[in-house]
Amino acid sequence: MSVIHGEMQSYALTVDKLLDHGAKWHPQAEVVTAREGGRLDRIGYAGLRQRSRRTSAVLAGLGIGAGDRVATLAWNTQAHVEVWFAVMGMGAVCHTLNPRLSEAQLADMIAKSGARVLIAAADLAPLARRIAARAGSVGRLLSIDGPAAEGGGPLAAEPLESLVDAAQGEVPWGDFDEHAPCGLCFTSGTTGTPKGVTYTHRGIFLHTLRALQADTMALSTHDSVLLAVPMFHANGWGVPFATPAVGARLILPGRHLDGASLAALINAESVTVALGVATVWLALAEHLEAAGGETPTLKRIIVGGAPISPVLMERIERRLGASVQTSWGMTEMSPTGTVAPPDDPRRAAHLSGRPSIGVDLLLTDAEGVLLPEQRGVEGHLRARGASTIQRYFGETRPAVDASGWFATGDLARIEPDGNLVITGRAKDLIKSGGEWINPAEIEEIIGELPDVSLAAVIGREHPKWGERPVLLVKMRDGSTASDAVLIDALRGRVASWWLPDSVIRVDRMPLAATGKIDKMRLRAEFGRATETRACRQTQHPAQ
Amino acid sequence: MSVIHGEMQSYALTVDKLLDHGAKWHPQAEVVTAREGGRLDRIGYAGLRQRSRRTSAVLAGLGIGAGDRVATLAWNTQAHVEVWFAVMGMGAVCHTLNPRLSEAQLADMIAKSGARVLIAAADLAPLARRIAARAGSVGRLLSIDGPAAEGGGPLAAEPLESLVDAAQGEVPWGDFDEHAPCGLCFTSGTTGTPKGVTYTHRGIFLHTLRALQADTMALSTHDSVLLAVPMFHANGWGVPFATPAVGARLILPGRHLDGASLAALINAESVTVALGVATVWLALAEHLEAAGGETPTLKRIIVGGAPISPVLMERIERRLGASVQTSWGMTEMSPTGTVAPPDDPRRAAHLSGRPSIGVDLLLTDAEGVLLPEQRGVEGHLRARGASTIQRYFGETRPAVDASGWFATGDLARIEPDGNLVITGRAKDLIKSGGEWINPAEIEEIIGELPDVSLAAVIGREHPKWGERPVLLVKMRDGSTASDAVLIDALRGRVASWWLPDSVIRVDRMPLAATGKIDKMRLRAEFGRATETRACRQTQHPAQ
C-alpha cells in the first residue's frame, strides 16, 4: 500500500521515558540505599530524575556526547542509578564493570570500549585508578558514594556530587532512534573470553514491558523491590528500569549482600519482592537459621543466574516464608529469557518458566540443526527476540545463525507444557573417553541431599580418558555424611562411568561476582591431572 | 556515533507474533465460543492459528493483499478471531463494523474504507447485503458462524468455513514494517460524525504488552477471560491480542450479553476475569438477584467505556463477589488509557487508575494551553503514546496539537497520587445562560441513590437560556422515590441553576452497541424545546 490511511503517534522506545514516567506519575515512590553503618538514604523518582538530568549536564560539560561510552565501577546505589539514566538519557552508552574481575580483564574491557570517563564507587577508586592507567582511554575519574579512597595511581578522583551541585544548563533527553545503544556489559568471563553485549534503548524498553507482566516479575506500584543482583551484572536483571516504569519502590543494598545486611534491609523497608542468585538467599536463610528472625513482608524471591537445587529452593521458601520464582536468562538477552509465574502451584526448581511474548526459543543438535521433536527431548538452546543479541560489541560477524537465532550455549529440555528445563552448559560438559558427561545432572542429585549446601562438578584432566569428573562440595554445618554416601546417592541414577573419581570438600565455594559458582576458578585449582589417581584405573569406566 | 558497536536482533512488533506465541507455547489453551442453545465450541491456540492461516490463504485467493481492507460485521466468536489474525497477519487491514449502527452509517464507513470483502455473522447477512449494496465497494460477502440468513439483497453469501476447508497454499505472515496498519475502527458515533481510527501493528503490540502488566489487566496463563466487550468496539479492548500472547483462555459469548447467558457461561467455563461496560454487569447482577445463583470463580471485573457510579460498583462487587477494576480509554488509544490495579484497596468508582508506561496524559484549558497546576484541578485531557492516534483515516491534517498531544474531548482531574478522574465529556457539557453545566457531576450524585438504576442528564433546547438540563432516570424495580426526592438529592451539592428542569422516567435506558448510554438518541428524543415548560421561567436560574 502506498498511502497509509491514518496512523498512530511516533513514540521512540527510549529508556529516558521510563524514569520520566516514574517521576511524573510516581514522584514520591522511593529509591532507598543502604549505607555503611545501617544508615538508609532515600529519594523519590522525581528527585532522582532531577539529579540525573543534572548529571547529564555534568557529563556533557566533560565532552560526552551521543554514542560515547561512560564506564561505571560501582555498587547498587542511588548514585549509580542516577548515572545510568544520565548517560543513557543523553544518548551515551553506560559501560558497567564488575569490580571482582581481574585488573587485566577490566583494563582490557575499558580499552575495548574506549570509555573516556570512569565513574567509580569511593571504595573502588584505587582499583579504578589502576585499571584506568592500564587501559589508557580514561581521562576523567569521577567518584560516587563518599570520599574516594586513595592509592592506585595519580589520576585524581573528582566527586561527582559536587559537580552535580554546580551543574549548569540542560541536556536534552531522548529524541534519538530507539535502536541506539544505551549500555555495554561484557559477559562475566566464567566461561571464556569476555565479549561485549551492547544493549539498545528499544531492547531494554521492551524488556521492561516484559518484566512488568503478571506472569513474569509482576512488579507493581505496591511493591518494595530489593535488588540483590549487582547492577553490573546484566543490567541488574532490568530492575532499575522496571521499578520507575511502574512506580515500585527500589531498595538498593549497596555493596553488602551478606545475610545479616539483607535481613535488616528487608525488614527496615518492608521488602515484598527480592531478586538475586540462589547463593544470596542461601546466605540469608543460613543467617536467619543461626541468628533467628523472620522476613514477614517478603512474598516472592526471583532467582536466576544459575540452576537452583530442589532442596535449596525448599529451604529458602520455608525459612524466608516467600515463594521462589525461578528464571533463566543471559547477558546476551538483556537478560531475562524465561520466568516462572508468581505463586505458580506447579513451580519446581528444575523448571525455569516459559518465555513471555517477545522471546522465542528452539532446540537444535550440536551442529545447529533443528531437532524434529521440540518437546520432552534435550537439545542445544537457541533464542530470538527484540532484546536478544544480534552482534557482539566491536565484532563484524553476527552472533546469530543464518536463521537469526542466537546459540545460548545452554543445554535444555522443553516440557510438553512449554516449561524450560536447563540441563547444563554445553561448555561445562565433560568429555571422558569420547563420551559426554553432564555435570548439571550430577549436581542436581547431590544438591538434593540434605547434608549438602552447594555442589559443583568439573572435569579434571586425565592422561588416558581426557577428562574425568570431580565433585566439589560444601557440606552443611554439622553434617557427617561420608564421601561414599555422596557417591552412593548417584548410583543407579547416572551411568556408572559418570561417578566422580573423587570428592573434594571445600569450606567456601568460590563464587563469581554474580553469585554463580565460579567454575573457571574451580577448574584452575582442581582441574589439573593428578598422576597418582589418574593411574589407578586402566580401563575407562564407560567400558 | 557513526558506527553502532554491536546490536540487538531486529524483531518487528507485528500482531501475527501474538498468535504465533500462543500457538507455540500454549497450544492447548482454549478459545471457547458460546453458541445458540447453550452449546460451547472450543479450540486451542495451535488449532486456531492453523485455521487462521488457511483463512489468509482464502483471502489471498480473493485478491486481498497488503494494505487492503477486509470488513467484518460479526459477534465475539472464534471465527471472528480467526479472521482478525488472518487479515492482520497477511498485512491487510481488518475493518470492524458495529451492527447496531444505522445502515446509512455502516454503508458510509465501508465506502470510506473501500473494503472489497465483507465477512458477516450468519444472522447479520441481510444487513450485510443491504450495506454492501449501498457502499458499492464490496464484491464478496463471506459468512461465518452458521448458514447465512437470507434477504437484504442479491449478493451471495459464501460460507467462509467451506473455503477454509478447501484452502490451498500458504500466505506468509508478518515480515513487514511494524508501523503498517492492521485495523480500522470508526468511533461509535454517539458523539458526532464517525471518524476512522487506523490501528497499527506496533501500536497494538505495545498495547498488548501493557495489558499484560500486573498493574493493569494482569492477564495470566491461569486466567479464563470472558470478553463481554464486542470485538467491533475498539478492538475488544485488545483482549483477543492479549490472551494468546500469555496463553490465557479466551471465553467468547457470541451475540448474547444478557445476564442469564453470561451467568451460565461464567460458571460453565470457570471464568476468572471478565471485561465489559458497567451496564452489562448491572444486568448480570440483576439476573442473579432475580433468579438466584452465584459466580464463585469470578475474581475480577474490568469495566470501562463510561464512568460507573459508586452504588453500581458496590452492587456489582457484592452480588458477583468479584473486585471491580475501573478503566478509561478511547477508540483513539487502541483503546486503553488507564486501568486501576487489581484488588487495589484504595479503588473507587470515580478513580480510573494511572497510565502505565507508554501512555502519558496532561491537562489544558479549553484552548489547549497547559494548565500551570496539573494535580487536583479540572482540565481538558490530552494524551500521548505509541498506541494513541496521530491522524484519522483518510485525513491529511493531524489529530494532535503542535506538541503532538491528542485532545481526548474528556474533562478530567488528576489526583495528587496520579489517579485519573474523568469528570465529563467536553461535548456533553450543557451551556445554559452562558454558563457551563457538567452532566457527569449530576449523574454521579443521582447514581448514588439506592432507588436509581441508571441516570443520564442531557441539555434540552431552551429559547431563552440556550439549553437547560433534563434528568432521565431508570428506577430500580419497586422504588417509590418521587421526582422531588431526586432533585432534593442535588440541592446543596450542585449550583441551584444546575438543577434539572424536569425528570423523565424511562423503562429502558437506550444503550449504544457499546453498552454506553446513548446520549445522542436521548438528545434526539428528549432534547427539543418544549414551549410550555420553557416559558415557566423568566429569569435564568443562575441569576
**CA A237 to CA A329: how far, in whole Å?**
9
Largest CA distance in chain A: 79
pLDDT at B537 over 50: no
Taking only the tens place, the pLDDT of each residue in B235-266 is 999 999 999 999 999 999 999 999 999 999 99
Q: Which pLDDT value is given to residue B426?
A: 80
Taking only the tens place, the pLDDT of each residue in A441-454 is 899 889 889 899 89
Which residue, among A13, A20, A166, has the nearest Cα to A85 in the 3D structure? A20
**Strand ranges (E), B210-248:** 224-227
Q: Which pLDDT value is given to residue B435?
A: 77
Domains and CATH numbers, chain A: 10-199 (3.40.50.12780), 429-534 (3.30.300.30)
Are A90 and A64 in contact by the 8 Å Cβ rule? The answer is yes
A358:B11 CB<8 A:
yes
- Taking one residue from A and the other from B, the number of pairs with CB-CB distance under 8 angstroms is 207
B405 part of the active site? no
**CA A250 to CA A94: how far, in whole Å?**
20
A354:B219 CB<8 A:
no
Residues with Cβ within 8 Å of residue A124, at least 6 apart in sequence: A73, A74, A99, A149
pLDDT at B393 over 90: yes
**CA A96 to CA B114: how far, in whole Å?**
54
Q: Which pLDDT value is given to residue A530?
A: 63
Q: In A, which residues are within 8 Å of B67 by CB distance?
A: 1
pLDDT at A190 over 50: no
* Backbone CA torsion sign across A18, A24, A29, A34: positive
Q: Which pLDDT value is given to residue A192?
A: 57
Q: Residue B111, SS3? A: helix
A436 part of the active site? yes
| Number of C-beta neighbours around residue B371 at 10 A | 15
**CA B492 to CA B490: how far, in whole Å?**
6
**CA B44 to CA B244: how far, in whole Å?**
10
pLDDT at B178 over 90: yes
Residue A334, chain B, CB below 8 Å: the answer is yes
Pick the residue from chain A with its C-alpha nearest to B23: A418
Q: Left if phi > 0, otherwise alpha if psi is -120 to 50, otherwise beta: which for B431? A: beta
Are B132 and B153 in contact by the 8 Å Cβ rule? The answer is yes
Which residue, among A209, A160, A203, has the nearest Cα to A183 in the 3D structure? A203
- For all residues of chain A together, what is the average pLDDT? 92
Most A CBs within 10 A among B116, B220, B357, hence the mutation to make, goes to B357
Q: Which of A82, A332, A444, A467 is catalytic?
A: A332
Residue B543, chain A, CB below 8 Å: the answer is no
Q: Which helix (H) or strand (E) holds B40?
A: strand B40-44
pLDDT at B504 over 70: yes
Q: Which pLDDT value is given to residue A26?
A: 97
Kindly give the residue spans of alpha helices, DSSP state H, lying in A369-482.
Answer: 439-447
Residue tagged 570512569 (cell numbers):
A118
The closest CB to that of A1, out of B67, B184, B360, belongs to B67
pLDDT at B302 over 50: yes
pLDDT at A528 over 60: yes
Q: In B, which residues are within 8 Å of A219 by CB distance?
A: 214
Mean local confidence (pLDDT), A5-31: 96
Residue B115, chain A, CB below 8 Å: the answer is no
pLDDT at A2 over 60: no
Residue A516, chain B, CB below 8 Å: the answer is no
Q: In B, which residues are within 8 Å of A334 by CB distance?
A: 8
Interface of B with A in 340-369 (CB under 8 A): 341, 354-358, 360
Of the ranges B277-281, B318-322, B491-495, which one carries the lowest mean pLDDT score? B491-495
Higher-confidence residue of B272 and B524: namely B272
* Backbone CA torsion sign across A209, A211, A212, A213: positive
Higher-confidence residue of B535 and A101: namely A101
Of the ranges A201-210, A428-437, B195-204, which one carries the lowest mean pLDDT score? A428-437
* Highest mean predicted confidence (pLDDT) among A191-205, A273-287, A429-443, A512-526: A273-287
Q: Which pLDDT value is given to residue B2?
A: 37
Of the ranges A31-45, A491-505, B64-78, B323-337, which one carries the lowest mean pLDDT score? A491-505
B187 part of the active site? yes
- Percent of chain A at pLDDT > 90 equals 77
As beta bridge partners, residue A412 has A379, A422
Residue A5, chain B, CB below 8 Å: the answer is yes
Are B69 and B114 in contact by the 8 Å Cβ rule? The answer is yes
Q: Which of A25, A187, A286, A435 is catalytic?
A: A187
Residue A92, chain B, CB below 8 Å: the answer is no
Residue B337, chain A, CB below 8 Å: the answer is no
Taking only the tens place, the pLDDT of each residue in B112-121 is 999 999 999 9
**CA B213 to CA B223: how far, in whole Å?**
14
pLDDT at A413 over 60: yes
- The b/e string for A180-205 (b: 16+ C-beta within 10 A; e otherwise) is bbbbbbbbbbbbeebbbbbbbbbbbb
Residues with Cβ within 8 Å of residue B318, at least 6 apart in sequence: none
Interface of B with A in 174-203 (CB under 8 A): 179-181, 184, 196-200, 202-203
pLDDT at B489 over 90: yes
B8:A387 CB<8 A:
yes
pLDDT at A543 over 70: no
pLDDT at B4 over 70: no
Q: In B, which residues are within 8 Å of A1 by CB distance?
A: 66-68, 180-181
Q: Which of B161, B187, B289, B448 is catalytic?
A: B187
Taking only the tens place, the pLDDT of each residue in B353-375 is 999 999 999 999 988 999 999 99
Q: Which pLDDT value is given to residue A542?
A: 43
**CA A141 to CA A249: how far, in whole Å?**
30
Q: In A, which residues are within 8 Å of B24 by CB distance?
A: 360, 418
Mean local confidence (pLDDT), A145-161: 95
pLDDT at A122 over 60: yes
> What's the grid cell of residue B229?
466487550
Pick the residue from chain A with its C-alpha nearest to B19: A357
Interface of B with A in 207-236 (CB under 8 A): 208-210, 212-215, 218-222
Q: Which pLDDT value is given to residue A112?
A: 94
Higher-confidence residue of A520 and B236: namely B236
Q: Which of B178, B269, B332, B444 is catalytic?
A: B332
CA B466 to each of CA A184, B469, B504: distance values in angstroms, whole numbers, following the listed order: 65, 10, 20
B173 part of the active site? no
Mean local confidence (pLDDT), B394-402: 92
**Strand ranges (E), A265-339:** 273-276, 300-303, 323-325, 327-329, 336-339
- For all residues of chain B together, what is the average pLDDT? 92
Interface of A with B in 373-432 (CB under 8 A): 384-395, 400, 404, 406, 418
Q: Residue B489, SS3? A: helix
Taking only the tens place, the pLDDT of each residue in A234-288 is 999 999 999 999 999 999 999 999 999 999 999 999 999 999 999 899 999 999 9
Confidence of residue A400 (pLDDT cuts 50, 70, 90): very high
Are B136 and B152 in contact by the 8 Å Cβ rule? The answer is no
Of the ranges A331-335, A436-440, A478-482, which one carries the lowest mean pLDDT score? A436-440
Q: Which pLDDT value is given to residue B246?
A: 98
- Percent of chain B at pLDDT > 90 equals 77
Q: Which pLDDT value is given to residue B101?
A: 84
Mean local confidence (pLDDT), A454-473: 90
Interface of A with B in 59-78 (CB under 8 A): 66-68
Pick the residue from chain A with its C-alpha nearest to B112: A5
**Strand ranges (E), A175-240:** 181-186, 196-200, 224-227
Please report, to the nearest 10 degrees, the dihedral formed by the alpha carbons of residues A271, A273, A278, A279 taken in order: -20
